Structure 1
Amino acid sequence: MLMSNSDRPARLHYMANGFRVLATGDHVVCAISGARIPLEDLRYWSVERQEPYASPELAMQAMAPQ
């Protein structure tokens, strides 16, 4: 039986210049907002924290000193 990646979150390993897919899916969930990010739109993440972000503003918010 073929499994569809539609509507399933992917598991990724974030690297400095890209990411590696560990478990297939069609999106990831923003670590700050909880928004779904289609893999083809994913542009912002933290290598150190291994977290994706939906926008540059949310990435800056995540990395701001507490």
Structure 2
Amino acid sequence: MLMSGRGREAKIHYLPGTFRLLSDGDHVRCAITGAVIPLEQLRYWSVARQEAYADAAASQEAERRG
């Protein structure tokens, strides 16, 4: 359930089109901006880098940085 671990950062394994919770939490942090991303709002991530992004711009910046 997404609301388990309220107030804690989740540990996630990112997969193509989905993700799997490895440890309970209700949010992750953007790898580019450091912004808190509630799990119910998580839409952007990299399977290859196993990191989350707050929005499309942050995802594009991660791609640019390589």
With structure 2 as the length reference, what TM-score do the two structures score? 0.90
CA RMSD of aligned residues (A): 1.2
| Counterpart residue number, 1:46 | 46
Distance 1:15 1:6 in 2: 23
* Runs ≥4 residues deviating over 4 A: none
Q: Secondary structure at the match of 1:21?
A: strand
* Residue 10 of structure 2: aligned partner: 10
Unpaired stretches in structure 1, ≥5 consecutive residues? none
Counterpart in the other structure of 2:23: 23
- Partner AA of 2:13 in structure 1: H
CA distance in 1, matches of 2:29, 2:51: 9
Q: Is 1:32 equivalent to 2:32 in the alignment?
A: yes
Structure 2 runs not aligned, ≥5 long: none
Q: Kindly provide the amino acid, as one letter, of the partner of residue 51 in structure 1.
A: E
Report how far residue 13 of structure 1 moved.
0.2
Q: Deviations over 1:32-53 (max 9, x none)?
A: 0000000000000000000000
Report the TM-score when normalising by structure 1. Answer: 0.90
Q: Which has the larger radius of gyration?
A: 1
1:6 deviates by 1.4
